[in-house]
Amino acid sequence: MNTLELEYNGDDLIISKEMVEQEFGLLPGDRLEIRPKLVLVPLKRTPEDLKAIEEACQDLRQAFEPADLEDWEDARKALWDQWQSQL
């Protein structure tokens, strides 16, 4: 997916017609949405919640052998290569 990053300095933001049509595939009549800047804030969790999450992660870690990780990584790479070849 193409992205566009502009620095707002208080003046009008100008995006050329060529960029919008060629790089983003927009056509006359298409709509473009500009959303407010997203500010992420960590969730406040109780100590009990944190302990439960940590225990779940430990249980998950013990469920797999090192060979499972290698198989997963091979499958992930194959899927990535297949996806990249379709671009």
For residue 62, give its domain range.
Answer: 47-85
Question: Of 7, 1, 37, 2, which Cα lies nearest the Cα of 19?
Answer: 2
Contact 40, 55 (CB under 8 A): no
Is 65 within the bounds of a domain?
A: yes
> In this predicted model, which residue has the larger pLDDT, 37 or 74?
74
80: pLDDT strictly greater than 80: yes
Is 25 within the bounds of a domain?
A: no
What is the structure's pLDDT at 1?
Answer: 60
Is 81 within the bounds of a domain?
A: yes
Is 3 within the bounds of a domain?
A: no
What is the structure's pLDDT at 69?
Answer: 83
What tens digit of pLDDT does each residue of 13-71 get?
888 888 888 888 888 998 888 888 888 999 999 999 999 999 999 888 888 888 888 88
Domain count of the fold of the chain:
1
Contact 2, 20 (CB under 8 A): no
What is the structure's pLDDT at 55?
Answer: 94
Is 30 within the bounds of a domain?
A: no
Integer Cα distance of 26 and 18 in angstroms: 10
Is 37 within the bounds of a domain?
A: no
Contact 23, 30 (CB under 8 A): no
What is the structure's pLDDT at 46?
Answer: 95
